[in-house]
Amino acid sequence: MSLFDMRGEVALITGSSRGIGKATAEAMAEQGAKVVISSRKQDACDATATEINARFGEGTAIAVAANISSKDALQNLVNETRAAFGKITALVCNAASNPYYGPGLGIADEQFRKIMDNNILSNHWLISMVAPEMLERGAGSITIVSSIGGLKGSPIIGAYCISKAADMQMARNYSVEFGPQGVRVNCVAPGLIRTDMARALWENPENLKRSTAASTLKRIGEPHEIAGAAVFLASKAGAFTTGQTIVCDGGATISGGA
């Protein structure tokens, strides 16, 4: 059996109708997991679940829309997952938002709170809803999709970077709390990836040029290139990994840009 085999696993993945979340759901389904597709719009979730079921067999994926800003919606997402599959063995907190691009002094209170609520508080909510059954079972994996923004400063997406640094600390804290019961908590920190959420960054020729020049691979990343790290963390391959942040950024954080 492959170390990456996920047969018998049930993965709930937020923000999974497109981008990194969708690529992660596809990769986990390919390894045999049941997957739950969730984002704000039901039709988008349905479309992705239909694609996955067509590729990997009917019943592999279900679609449950949920707005991460609503605690009730997230509880319903968890309830529907358990009703369909009986358990949750892997949680991937991928959904996030960034409604503001610009200098930190220019951000409105409402925008700052939205970033913190959606990128930090919603993850805390979901973990609080899912972790108890994992702890009782004595096994489970929780992965937060953070960002290399949490490792450095930015004059454009500063509040987003603050929230992503907090996600890394959340993973460390919960890994300490949950580890004795066999539950692992980690982060994946992507660099600039070709997703709709990051479109404002990579569609700007100057931003794209600056980002790719500073990376050792000299290119932008693709969603499927992040999915492998998520599979690693949720499978037996990552069984001894917890409290960590796996950076997948094409070498952007270790290069001086030369």
- Catalytically active residues, by annotation: 160
Pairing of strands 245-248, 90-93: unpaired
Which helix or strand (DSSP H or E) is residue 34 part of? Answer: strand 34-38
Cβ-in-10-Å burial (0-12, 13-18, 19+) of 183 comes to buried
CA distances from 2 to 166, 186, 239 (A): 33, 21, 13
Neighbours of 181 (CB within 10 A): 14
Residue among 240, 14, 82, 140 nearest 24 (CA): 14
